[in-house]
Structure 1
Amino acid sequence: MNPTDFKNTILPYKDKMFRLALRLLNKREEAEDLVQEALIKLWQQHDRLAEVQNLEAWVIRLTKNQCIDRLRGSKNGHKEWKDGLDWADSTPLPDARTESADTMNKLQKLMERLPENQRLVMQLRDVEGMSYQEVAEALDIPLAQVKINLFRARQTMKSILGRGDKKISDHFARGLDK
Structure 2
Amino acid sequence: MSLEIFKNKVLPVKNKLYRFALGFIKNEDEAKDIVQEVFIKIWDKKEDLLAIENIEAWCMRVTRNLSLDKLKSKHKKYTDSLNEEFDKSDDKNQTPYRSTEISDTMSMINLFIESLPDKQRQIIKLRDIEGYSYKEISEMVGVDMNQVKVNLFRARKAIKENLLNINAYGLR
Give the TM-score, by structure 1 length.
0.78
Name the counterpart of 1:3: 3
Superposed CA RMSD: 2.7
Letter of the 1:93 counterpart? K
> Which residue number in structure 2 is paired with residue 114 of structure 1?
116
Task: Identify the residue that residue 163 of structure 2 maps to in structure 1.
Answer: 161
1:39 and 2:52 aligned: no
Do 1:89 and 1:101's aligned partners in 2 also have CA atoms closer than 8 Å?
A: yes
CA contact (8 A) 1:111 1:119 kept: yes
Structure 1 gaps of 5+ residues are: 167-178
1:131 to 114, 133, 147: 133
Structure 1 counterpart of 2:12: 12
The total of aligned residue pairs comes to 165
Instruction: Write out aligned runs for 1:43-82 (5 A).
Output: 43-74=43-74, 76-79=75-78
Structure 2 residues not aligned, in runs of 5+: none
The superposition leaves residues 102-121 of structure 1 with CA deviations (integer Å, 9 ceiling, x where unpaired) of 65444333211111100011
Match of 2:87 in 1: 88
Matched residues in 2 for 1:94 and 1:38: separation? 42
Tell me if structure 2 keeps the 8 A contact 1:87–1:101.
no
| Alpha-carbon distance between aligned partners in 1 of 2:85 and 2:147, rounded to the nearest angstrom | 29
Distance 1:81-1:144 versus aligned 2 partners, 3 A rule: closer
Report the AA paired with residue 46 of structure 2.
H
Share of identical aligned residues, percent?
A: 36
**Residue identity in the other structure for 1:142:** D
One-letter identity of the residue aligned with 1:88: D
- Residues 141, 19 of structure 1: alpha-carbon distance in 2 compared, 3 angstrom cutoff: same
| 1:81-130 deviation per Cα after TM superposition (whole angstroms, max 9, x unaligned) | 5895342257473868x656665444333211111100011011111111
Give the C-alpha shift of residue 42 in structure 1.
1.3
Aligned partner of 1:45: which letter? K
